[in-house]
Amino acid sequence: MQRRTFLQGLAAAGALGSLPVSSLSFANTIASVSVESLPKLEGDLTLYLGRGEGGLYENVLDAIKKRNPKLNLKIRRGASAALANTLAAEAKAGVKRADLFWAVDTGSIGMVTDSGLAKPLPTDLTTQLKDGFQYPSWTPVTGRIRTLPYNTERVTPDQIPDSVMALADSDLALGWAPAYASFQSFVTAMRILEGEKATADWLKGVNSKAKKYAGELGVVMGVERGEVDMGFANHYYTLRLKAGKPNANVALAYTQNDAGCLVNASGIVALSEGDLPVNFIRYLLSREVQGYLASEAYEIPLVQGVTPPQGLPALSEISPPDMDLRKLADLRPTLNLMRKVGVL
């Protein structure tokens, strides 16, 4: 409830509200496409929408619908992983209900693309994306970085290791949210990069000293209050906290070339042929929508030329691991491992 209230406060401060997308003013660059140049959307579309971002995705959809009154957009909402499983089950039964799937994590996207349900996207759409985020059968929408939020009164930058694996043996008091989906994707990346045994040892080491929180906003707030020295969380929770409390005693650190600095993404898949699903995706990659999600959700715009949220280094200045994000699709081995070592 605390997270919901926090995000509603941010949304109320600068949300789309009743405004059409075209009335918003954000970063203008020739590398991104404005909604003014996009074709009108007309016809029936069904979108399966993974819940997330405190209603900000809903604001985007409302703005798109207001700009396109002849678009009949039906939305089915649910957890991203549950909707991905539903899509697979519907396909197996020969039932087709969805034209688009917008997920808050790439693991769910991978489940759908691996099932052969995704339709190819035109290159003029995918080449709007930054290098490393161009895929033929799905497109990222916005990015998020795994970070180490730390209390600036309890920890100095020189105390923070460059490797996330080193934290299992450190003397730092840690906070984490192991039941949280983003954390489990991070552990999945660690399992792929470091191996099963190293990941199990890391989980055991951290579990012996870490304070558990229900979610990653709670982790960041616990860090800021001094309950722990450092935590594990996506970047935007810290930026959102600092937006409401500029003098908060929390800053972000980044590891190098490991799961601790993974750049993950929300993403969307076209499930039906034709121009309408593809043109809908173009709106999500527009300058206005990307700018809105950067300024209000503090997510990282992945089209070229849109200003990222303040308080983050450029993607070119950090060292994330090189990974096909769809590999994060299968969480079962990760959950089994976390249960085996007593984390869940």
Looking at the predicted structure, is the pLDDT value of residue 276 above 50?
Answer: yes
Structure tokens at 190: 């660690």
Q: Is residue 103 domain-shared with residue 135, that is, in the same domain?
A: yes
Looking at the predicted structure, is the pLDDT value of residue 27 above 90?
Answer: no
State the CATH number of the domain containing residue 86. 3.40.190.10
Q: Is residue 8 domain-shared with residue 116, that is, in the same domain?
A: yes
Q: 3-class SS at 140?
A: strand
The number of domains in the chain is: 2
Q: Is residue 275 domain-shared with residue 137, that is, in the same domain?
A: yes
Confidence of residue 305 (pLDDT cuts 50, 70, 90): confident
pLDDT at 31: 66
Q: Is residue 86 domain-shared with residue 234, that is, in the same domain?
A: no
Residue whose entry in the numeric block shows the structure tokens 């405190």? 54
Read off the pLDDT of residues 111-132 as tens digits, 9 standing for 90 and up: 899 889 999 999 999 999 988 8
Taking residue 231's Cβ as centre, other Cβ atoms within 10 Å add up to: 31
Q: Are 323 and 189 in contact (CB under 8 A)?
A: yes
Q: Is residue 156 domain-shared with residue 183, that is, in the same domain?
A: yes
Q: Is residue 149 domain-shared with residue 139, that is, in the same domain?
A: no
Q: Is residue 17 domain-shared with residue 98, that is, in the same domain?
A: yes
Read off the pLDDT of residues 312-343 as tens digits, 9 standing for 90 and up: 998 889 999 988 887 887 888 999 999 999 99
Q: Is residue 187 domain-shared with residue 80, that is, in the same domain?
A: no
pLDDT at 324: 81
Q: Which residues are part of a known binding site for Fe cation?
A: 236-237
Identify the H or E element spanning 88. helix 80-92
pLDDT at 329: 77
Report the interhelical angle of 56-67 vs 275-284 (nearest 10°): 120
pLDDT at 53: 56
Q: Is residue 133 domain-shared with residue 165, that is, in the same domain?
A: no
Considering only residues 175 and 324, tell me which one the structure prediction assigns the higher pLDDT.
175
Structure tokens at 202: 């890391």
Whole-number mean pLDDT of the chain?
A: 87
Q: Is residue 120 domain-shared with residue 176, that is, in the same domain?
A: no
Q: Is residue 336 domain-shared with residue 225, that is, in the same domain?
A: yes
Instruction: Report the distance separating Cα 75 and Cα 211, nearest Å.
Output: 37
User: Which residues constitute the domain of residue 14?
Assistant: 2-143+264-314
Read off the pLDDT of residues 234-259 as tens digits, 9 standing for 90 and up: 999 999 999 999 999 999 999 999 99
Instruction: Report the distance separating Cα 133 and Cα 125, nearest Å.
Output: 12
Please, which contacts does 59-63 make with residues 24 or more away whose CB atoms are closer than 8 Å? 59/11, 59/15, 59/16, 59/17, 59/292, 59/296, 60/16, 60/21, 60/284, 60/289, 60/292, 60/293, 62/16, 63/16, 63/19, 63/20, 63/21, 63/24, 63/289
Q: Is residue 13 domain-shared with residue 133, that is, in the same domain?
A: yes
- Return the beta strands (E) in the chain as ranges: 43-50, 71-78, 100-103, 139-151, 174-176, 211-212, 230-231, 233-234, 250-253, 263-270, 300-301
Q: Which residues are part of a known binding site?
A: 236-237
